Amino acid sequence: MKKLFVFLCFASIAFSFSSCATIIGGAKYNAKVQVPNHPDATISVNGEYKGQGEANFLVKRRNADKLSITVQEENCEPETTQFSKKAFRGWAFVGTVVGWTGWIPNTYIFLPWGIVVDGITGAWWKPDVTEKGVSKIDYDNFLYTITYKAVPKKGSTIKPEEKDKELKNATAKSKTEILRELKQLFDDGVLTQEEYEKEKAKLLGSE
């Protein structure tokens, strides 16, 4: 009976603290949504309005695979992008196992309380950067880039100058994506500094 009392007290104290994964990164992460070339587009996440053209909000790590982002401009059809993947934070799990487990004093009871805390808070999870549109800024911040086509609603008309604007935006978007790919190749060591600068200058010079 005494050992059970000690166990309950120890468990209560343990749950009042955060473990490794919860401390490093927390149970939530900062999500940033951008809609390139559409600063007037409204952004809703899981049915809740978050911003216009760009949005910043917190997401529970356990829900990183349950994001539904809807974008819409005036007189255009709404477009929804589903993000349904999440990745396991392996290093955080190892840190929890190594640093936040132990034996209850004077007993043979092994208590991996760090694992319990992280399991409850969902701190082991993060967005999966292999999913299209998702990129990592740092361990606590992730960027969602939405490609919005801005298809006109049926029956609506678009002025000639607006059509020209859309064409220019499409071209700019294409070049932005290429620049991003070049930068990734450079970061991965596939391209040298000289090759990267040469290709970037060539792309920008074609404008």
Question: What is the distance between the alpha carbons of residues 27 and 18, in angstroms, rounded to a whole number?
Answer: 10
Domain edges within the chain: 2-154, 158-207
Q: Residue 152's CB: how many other CB atoms inside 10 A?
A: 15
Residue 54 vs residue 189, higher pLDDT: 54
Query: C-alpha 53: how far from its chain's center?
Result: 17
Distance of alpha carbon 125 from alpha carbon 91, whole angstroms: 11
For the question of whether the overall pTM of this predicted structure is more than 0.75, the answer is no
- Other beta carbons within 10 Å of 105: 8
State pLDDT tens for residues 17-66.
444 444 445 789 999 999 999 999 999 999 999 999 999 999 998 899 99
Q: Beta strands of the chain (E only): which ranges?
A: 28-34, 42-45, 48-52, 54-60, 67-72, 79-83, 86-88, 102-103, 110-111, 125-127, 134-138, 141-145
d(CA 26, CA 19): 9
pLDDT recorded at residue 27: 84
Lowest mean pLDDT among 107-111, 181-185, 192-196: 107-111
Cα diameter, the chain: 82
pLDDT at 21: 46
